Amino acid sequence: MKQTIYRSINRILLIIFLVTLVSCKHIQLVTQAQDNFNKAANIENELALEIDYADISKFSNASINYEIAYNLSSKALKNHKNRLKKDGLLGTAYSIKALSAWKLGEFNKADALSKEALEELSNQPRDIALMKAIPGLIKAEQAFLKLGEDDNITIEKYNEIKGLITNPATGALNDITNASNGLDKGHPLLTYFQLARVSMLLTLDRADLRSGQNDATFVKNEVIKGLKGLKNLVGCNSSTFKKFFDELGSPGQVGCP
**How would you write the pLDDT of the chain (257 residues) with one tens digit per residue?**
434 333 333 443 443 333 344 447 777 888 888 887 777 777 776 655 443 434 444 446 778 888 999 999 999 999 989 989 988 889 999 999 999 999 999 999 999 999 999 999 988 898 999 999 999 999 999 999 999 878 899 999 999 999 999 999 999 999 999 999 989 988 888 988 888 898 898 899 899 989 987 777 788 788 888 888 888 888 888 877 877 777 775 545 777 76
How far apart CA 200 and CA 207 sit, in angstroms, is 11
Asked if 78 and 35 touch (Cβ cutoff 8 Å), the reply is no
From the list 172, 248, 249, the residue with the least C-alpha distance to 205 is 248
Angle ∠(159,130,73) on CA atoms, nearest 5: 115
Phi-psi region of 186 (alpha: psi -120 to 50; beta: other; left: phi over 0): left
Q: How many CB atoms lie within 10 A of CB 250?
A: 11
